[in-house]
Structure 1
């Protein structure tokens, strides 16, 4: 039986649509922000709904809310008909914000994430964070906001355990499979030295091959933990060593990666090679679990 890896989530995730605000707390503010930011860097494509090839603004908001169990209509105009109107000075994280970028009414939608910031899929830079009052563009094009759901400040109330959603997050085993394939490693030897990987495991050959070249070394007990998540800090080390990257000039500084942090040098190398631009809010998210979207984005930039 496959081992289940558990993490707490808010118990009242519910699927809903409609004109009003659902009274149930759909998720926490952290859930919303982390999910929205996990797609930063995904390219824009008009009419696109596939994160691998690109999404438009309303497909992006629909995707983020769907991950939290909330149904949105497909277009920005249709989304503007959902929820309840909210004045600009009462915006809360998770509110949808709308803009007139075409001169013909609602044509762009994003997600408010606090501190006058919103995140959206832009035609110029893909998914990114902008200032809602930006005097050069967004400020003059703002139309209004709608509240589709109320997001809780803290994870309070009834909490239950649920499996980590590996349709969203990357496992260590998945990272190993992807890297072994891209690096064209010989995975024929399935007699892995990791005690928690049997020769019959689909990860055996990849994990063993990556260990041979020093990319994965195991935890303090020598285990590989193929069904565990991997943090962005851990992945930075793995990618730097797998692709033998060296620092190329100056690196961006991130508020959550101090010079004393164990991953500082690895993050700096990724940044200097333009493999990462962080989460768009001045942080790298060093302790965040890596999503499949982020893994795809890193690999695409590494293999251009």
Structure 2
């Protein structure tokens, strides 16, 4: 698996402040949500802790671990951590807890703002839900702040902000992927009225994102954002390439040990591999949660282009 350039100040994550709250000053709300959103679509699996399947607390623990913050394994154990916060004082990154079993705390998610939370639901997998719906509103137990995610001192535009944990001289941003695909596909990029709320008409990504959206290549996140300055996982890249080049399954079947047939990315990876666009990581795995490097991006696009 490719090495990620993680935040160089992980030590600051582990400093306890007050009643068991980590001071995650090196992580912003944007970094927290970007980390959580990359798992959207991963199916629910009871006891699941990997991208092949996640239960609710397995998901929250995985996201926090990605940011260097260690939390307990189960929802009830996570509820025993951190500092209690009222519903009216919720901040991005707070854990929200629910009683879905009738026997106390049995479900957990991560608050992402605007009265919404991201969680791994039994019938939905990882998705964003509204806390205002009758189901969740009547089952709400409380919230805990295990870590504080602070805003960046200097406000920047979405295009200027890059995930601080990623070296973009090595890894490909979503914006770079859009620009390269638009060029290779030869699509008309004159329409700059992008459907993504974070891509303005004068953005260098506007034409490319609009064209690729119309082709069904990029659909954005749950909040309608494109997130040009965020990285793309290998699983997401599989979907993007299959849609962009309209790839179909061939007679060649390739299996990867870390890709479950119940995973949201299974069909995309299977199609990509059957066309020889990817051969995996050389150890029998695909590495779907790893970020796509610029070198891999060039190779993937070149191979896919040569199929047409």
TM-score scaled by length of structure 2:
0.61
Corresponding residue of 1:150:
148
CA deviation after TM superposition for structure 1 residue 253, in Å: 2.4
Q: Is the 8 A contact 2:44 2:120 kept in 1?
A: yes
Larger radius of gyration: 1
Corresponding residue of 1:48:
48
Corresponding residue of 2:75:
76
* 1:1-304 equivalences in 2 (<5 Å): 13-15=12-14, 20-22=19-21, 24-26=23-25, 27-51=27-51, 53-135=52-134, 137-155=135-153, 228-238=170-180, 253-258=195-200, 261-264=203-206, 266-268=208-210, 270-272=212-214, 274-292=216-234, 294-295=236-237, 298=240, 300=265, 302-303=268-269
Change (3 A) 1:23 1:260: closer
CA deviation after TM superposition for structure 1 residue 89, in Å: 1.0
Counterpart secondary structure, 1:13 = helix
- Give CA deviations for 1:19-54 in whole Å, capped at 9, x if unaligned: 923363342222222222222222222221121x12
Counterpart secondary structure, 2:14 = coil
Separation in 2 of the partners of 1:228 and 1:154?
A: 23
Corresponding residue of 1:174:
none
Count of equivalent residues: 231
Separation in 2 of the partners of 1:275 and 1:102?
A: 39
Q: Is the 8 A contact 1:118 1:129 kept in 2?
A: yes
Separation in 2 of the partners of 1:80 and 1:277?
A: 34
Change (3 A) 1:241 1:92: same
Counterpart secondary structure, 1:93 = coil
Counterpart secondary structure, 2:231 = coil
Separation in 1 of the partners of 2:42 and 2:167?
A: 17
Counterpart secondary structure, 2:64 = helix
Separation in 2 of the partners of 1:287 and 1:41?
A: 21
- Give CA deviations for 1:138-180 in whole Å, capped at 9, x if unaligned: 2122111011112222258xxxxxxx76xxx697xxxxxxxxx
Structure 1 stretch 142-151 or stretch 261-270: which is displaced more?
261-270
CA deviation after TM superposition for structure 1 residue 277, in Å: 3.3
Counterpart secondary structure, 2:232 = coil
Structure 1 residues without counterparts, runs of 5 or longer: 157-163, 172-226, 247-251
Separation in 2 of the partners of 1:237 and 1:70?
A: 34
Separation in 2 of the partners of 1:67 and 1:7?
A: 9
Structure 1 stretch 32-41 or stretch 232-241: which is displaced more?
232-241
TM-score scaled by length of structure 1:
0.62
Return the structure number with greater strand share.
1
What RMSD over aligned residues (CA atoms) do the two structures have, in Å? Answer: 3.8
Separation in 1 of the partners of 2:12 and 2:50?
A: 24
- Give CA deviations for 1:155-213 in whole Å, capped at 9, x if unaligned: 58xxxxxxx76xxx697xxxxxxxxxxxxxxxxxxxxxxxxxxxxxxxxxxxxxxxxxx
Separation in 2 of the partners of 1:170 and 1:130?
A: 31
Counterpart secondary structure, 1:61 = helix
Structure 2 residues without counterparts, runs of 5 or longer: 155-163, 189-193, 242-264, 272-308
